[in-house]
Chains A and B, each alone.
Chain A
């Protein structure tokens, strides 16, 4: 099918992403509803499941070469310091050490958008890169790192964003701790003060959420190898093309000379959306020593230096009418970016989730002497939703309105910024089925349970983007035996991308999924697809695969028409075969057509179609939590989470459930356990390991009931799928926090809600 080039516009936060994209020229026929499909929507096991469970799958972490050398990084032990001297003489004498690079022997390479360098003489957080050692083994490199003597001049530091925002705080960058660009952001609509004035009930509360660390299963790692001028990087990344472009730019070599491969990956959660310094350091040394270099970060490094969810210090003020109408919503927030620019805001849920005419927000993203924040599964929305949904429950209680009725009352039917309709918003349906599934009618007055164990119910809603957008491409090839390959420049973070690609091709071409091979995660072999972020992978790439497969089908039909000498309108495609509608014996198999067309392979590149204009594309949902709190010990047991969401078409019920489970567990872990702890006197992280940084275990995992209330969203794409990675985690902490309040009748305004906080809060009440 013919292609055209358009300006593709996609809304994410305040940004209007505006890129040029090639899309199908004519409108694609939407994929039928799931009930009429054979492969899509079903619980199809992962096509790479076997390789994964048998250990045959090669992750970046597993990649090696016979002559490989190993890199380790020396990192600053101080939160803020300048380097005055680096002495590597002892380290260099260690047998097996090949090369050590640092600021004094390496060309300057700009990093963090010009705010720092690959090796900066000023280190602004504990864990910042100081030197990189390459040695024969990882153990030798590690030992050499400890033999490097660095002289630092320690500087006064600041850890907390509220302190860092003050005039007299130590300045982390010359321009101060609130950068001019995006440091302070505001939003308003209507007249907030007027709204408060006209409200019958006004509630104001402060909320604190802590820094959380991504901690994916697979470490951050790279293997780099030069073949003359060609650089290949096996990287554990969420964006092969973005890593390729950054590394080409850092090394000042053409993008065509950099190949990035991510065949299998053990999670990223947003932290692996950008190129790592370690990849560039390894590439620099590898080129010089003419050997491949592997670098794997350890857990300590991962907890210090490769991203986190920023904390938040939110003050929210809400005004409402006696009948439950929201009159005003106001937010002030401080979030820690860490030492370099990152987004640390959290206002979007307050701005967009419920109907309210008068809204004002003021947010500060502040530099602190801690590891830099990165995108983390629904950036801002998780902490923002927790605070918003907590205060709304408080308001509902004051108004003596059931929390669910309060949300329904303030349902926002259209996008309040643009006043455009949503392509779909089945949130009311989600409320209805979710409430039924959790047994919402069993919710009692907060704190009314007798005995030491008190039960509670809570809910929180969710809004996110996740509709995907062009450009995204997929090449579909049909071989002479009728087997099919799909090539797409996406990457599978572990969510099942391989499988959904194969499902779409199998559905359209009506061939068994076993006959389809999927090649992704290789910049040299595949057409472009976007980074896997914003819950945009499935909604961006599946329509491209759909278009590519349709094009192959069209070619087969056209070929059959010529070969059978029957006009195309009289031909029927069924199960990989084409026959004349009136004369079924006059038929050809797809493989026969390809063979007779004397093509070794039939090739088509599909592209994601444009979303229908005039709408806003979002995902919606609600989660309900059923918890028990032991008032003797402060223990919170989450019995059940019901997740009811509007996320477009379900592509694969099994991997959808997997991803929802992962999101809910991660949300539970954030709500009840996770917190990066920094010692305020030294500015050092005390729990940079997986024992002291507590992630929920299987025994902490509740029953999780996933209910999808949506069918395909045809206004979004021909496939009509939306992303689920982020919707799954957004409402969980808010729902749990509200359920805890309902159980004990005492509000805990900070996350994580740990037993010590519960006990102290209960005690204060007495």
Chain B
């Protein structure tokens, strides 16, 4: 573990200024701790955000819901209002890692966590760490990206981000210039844009809130996460679905995928095809062939195409 200075700001402004230079924010710490133990933490300062008031609340607003970034995943998974009105988010939060991790891990941290690629986490001087080679591209890439990968084939590990994408959430980001809201769909950074980061947070910026617009009761949602073992695992593929229903058909719908690309993945063309889809087994099976159409699997991960399709069948079948 490298040495670092531990800074404990009491308010947002102090935190912003502490984070402007060679720092990393600490929320639940479940990711920071493992990065530190793997000697991947090279910031001079670790800035604890947990003393900042008011960032751990779930607030019902006129527009929908506003969730503080420090809200624990366990709180999101068990919040009665979220379970009822934003089911997909609480479902996604409830399948993160393990009970212990959900008890300390935060929603902000879950969205902003670093990737789990074993070359990135391991003793390999990979592209993401400033090296000049993506070991996964030709190496052991069973768990890597099948779409949008080049030049770095990580997959984004967040379960909640997938749900938030289908809900069209926006994120509030605070900096010394004040706060701004951006769509979650533009928060994540593809490796061909900047391979060293996964999102657009800059030094001195803090993700403070997640805002989700209200869904009318015509909408239904569902989330599924496929893991190799029962608990304490990242998704091979996860899928979130929000649909607006018109009798036996989908009027409008949105699917998002985790575990397939370096960013939580939305295929707009695919989502267009949801419109008018009859909710019966035959048409769902037919539709599923369109899933991951543009995928370019690596040597060991072609199965993710089939798995994504299979999960879409399972997920959409829930609406029948």
Residues of A within 8 A of B (CB): 77, 139, 142-143, 146, 452, 630-635, 673, 677-682, 684, 686-688, 691-692, 694-700, 754-757, 759-760, 763
Q: Which residue of B lies closest to A298 (CB)?
A: B37
With A142-B1, A673-B228 as contacts: A680 and B139 at CB distance below 8 Å: yes
Asked if B130 is an interface residue, CB under 8 A from chain A, the answer is no
Contact A760 B118 (CB under 8 A): no
Cβ of B187 < 8 Å from any Cβ of A? Answer: no
Q: Contacts A633-B314, A682-B124; is A700 near B229 (CB within 8 Å)?
A: yes
Assembly CA distance A218 to B124 (angstroms): 28
Cβ-defined partner of B301 (8 Å) among A691, A694, A699, A756? A756
**Given A687-B118, A697-B229, are A632 and B311 neighbors across the interface (CB < 8 Å)?**
yes
Cα–Cα, bound, A681→B142 (Å): 16
The answer to whether B230 and A700 have CB atoms under 8 Å apart is: yes
The answer, yes or no, to whether B267 is at the interface (CB within 8 Å) is no
A697 touches B1 (CB 8 A): no
Main secondary structure of the interface of A (DSSP, over half): loop
Please state if B232 and A697 are interface contacts (CB–CB under 8 Å): yes
> How far is it, in angstroms, between the C-alpha of A173 and the C-alpha of B308 when the chains are bound?
47
B1 near A633 with CB under 8 A, answer no
Decide if B247 is an interface residue (CB 8 Å cutoff).
Answer: no
Contacts of A142 in B (CB 8 A): 1
Q: Which residues from B are CB-within-8-Å of A635? A: 226
5 shortest A-B CB distances, which residue pairs? A699-B230, A632-B310, A756-B303, A686-B118, A759-B303
Known: A633-B310, A680-B139, A684-B122. A139 touches B1 (CB 8 A): yes
Residues on B with C-beta less than 8 A from A686 are: 118-119, 122, 139-140
Q: Which residue of B lies closest to A758 (CB)?
A: B303
A139-B1, A633-B310, A681-B139 given as contacts; is B122 within 8 A of A755 (CB)?
Answer: no
Chosen A-B contacts, 28 in total, with CB atoms closer than 8 Å, are A77-B123, A142-B1, A146-B39, A632-B309, A632-B311, A634-B306, A635-B226, A677-B118, A678-B140, A680-B140, A681-B138, A684-B123, A686-B122, A686-B140, A687-B118, A688-B122, A691-B116, A692-B118, A695-B229, A697-B229, A699-B229, A699-B231, A755-B303, A756-B142, A756-B300, A756-B304, A756-B307, A760-B306
**B residues near A760, Cβ cutoff 8 Å:** 302-303, 306
**Distance, CA A694 to CA B236, complexed state (A):** 13
Given A142-B1, A694-B229, A700-B230, residue A677 in contact with residue B303 (CB < 8 A):
no
B168 in contact (CB, < 8 A)? no
In the bound complex, do residue B231 and residue A698 qualify as a contact, i.e. CB atoms below 8 Å apart? yes
User: Given the known A-B contacts A633-B226, A682-B135, are A694 and B140 also in contact in the complex, defined by CB atoms under 8 Å?
Assistant: no
Given contacts A681-B135, A686-B140, contact A634 B303 (CB under 8 A): yes
In the complex, what residues of B have CB within 8 A of residue A632's CB? Answer: 309-311, 313-314
Contacts of A700 in B (CB 8 A): 229-230
Chain B positions 264 through 285: 1 when the CB is less than 8 Å from some CB of chain A, otherwise 0: 0000000000000000000000
Chain B residues with Cβ below 8 Å from A687 are 118
Contacts of A77 in B (CB 8 A): 123
CB distance from A632 to the nearest CB of B (A): 3
Of the candidates A142, A143, A684, the one having the most CB atoms from chain B within 10 angstroms of its own CB is A684
B133 to chain A, nearest CB (A): 9
Which residues of the other chain, A, contact B116 by a CB distance below 8 angstroms? 691-692
Q: Which residues does chain B contribute within 8 Å of A634, judged by CB atoms?
A: 303, 306-307, 310
A698 touches B230 (CB 8 A): yes
Check A763 against B306 for contact (C-beta < 8 Å). Answer: yes
- Looking at B124, B138, B300, B310, the one whose CB has the most chain A CB atoms below 10 A away is B310
- Interface of B toward A, CB cutoff 8 Å: 1, 39, 116, 118-119, 122-124, 135, 138-140, 142, 226, 228-233, 236, 300-304, 306-307, 309-311, 313-314
Cβ contacts under 8 Å, B311 to chain A: 632-633
Q: Is the CB of A754 within 8 A of B228?
A: yes
Chain A residue at smallest Cβ distance from B34: A691
Beyond A632-B313, A633-B314, A684-B124, whether A755 also contacts B229 by CB under 8 A is: no
Q: Hey, which chain B residues are within 8 Å of A756, CB to CB?
A: 142, 236, 300-301, 303-304, 307
Cα of A172 to Cα of B122 in the assembled complex, Å: 25
Distance between Cα atoms of A692 and B306 in the complex (Å) = 22
Distance (whole angstroms) from the CB of A586 to the closest CB of chain B:
65
Whether the pair B229, A759 counts as a contact (CB closer than 8 A) is no
B314 contact set on A, CB distance < 8 A? 632-633
For the complex, give the distance between the alpha carbons of A139 and B39 in Å: 13
CB B2 to nearest CB in A, in angstroms, measures 9
Interchain CA distance A757-B310 in the complex, whole Å: 15
Residues of A within 8 A of B140 (CB): 677-680, 686
The answer to whether A696 touches B229 (Cβ under 8 A) is yes
Contacts of A757 in B (CB 8 A): 303
**Complex contact B233–A694 (CB within 8 A):** yes
Residue of B nearest to A701 (CB): B230
Q: How far is the CA of A143 from the CA of B230 in the complex (A)?
A: 36
Q: Separation in Å of the A677 CB from the closest CB of chain B?
A: 5
Shortest Cβ distance from residue A302 to the other chain B in the assembled complex, whole angstroms? 15
Given contacts A684-B124, A686-B122, A756-B142, contact A697 B303 (CB under 8 A): no
CB-CB under 8 A from B230, the residues of chain A are 696-700
Cα–Cα distance between A98 and B240 once the two chains are bound (Å): 55
B144 → chain A closest CB, angstroms? 11
Contacts of A633 in B (CB 8 A): 226, 307, 310-311, 314
Q: Which residues of A contact B1 (CB under 8 A)?
A: 139, 142-143
CB-nearest residue of chain A relative to B39? Answer: A146
- Chain B residues with CB under 8 A of A684: 122-124
- Min CB gap B288→A, angstroms: 9
**Nearest-Cβ distance from residue B312 to partner chain A, whole angstroms:** 9
State the CA gap A550–B142 with chains docked (Å). Answer: 60
Residues of A within 8 A of B39 (CB): 146
The CA-CA distance from A77 to B135 in the complex, in Å, is 16
Q: Shortest Cβ distance from B155 into chain A, in angstroms? A: 13
List, in ascending order, chain B residues with CB within 8 A of A673's CB.
228-229
Residues of chain B lying within 8 A (CB to CB) of residue A681: 135, 138-139
Residue from A632, A699, A700 whose CB has the most chain B CB atoms within 10 Å? A632
Min Cβ gap B4→A in Å is 13
| Contact status of A759 and B139, CB under 8 A, knowing A633-B226, A694-B233, A697-B232 | no
**Distance of A684 Cα from B39 Cα, bound (Å):** 17
Q: Inside 8 A of B309's CB, which chain A residues have their CB?
A: 632
The smallest beta-carbon distance between B122 and chain A, in angstroms, is: 6
A677's nearest neighbour on chain B, judged by CB, is: B140
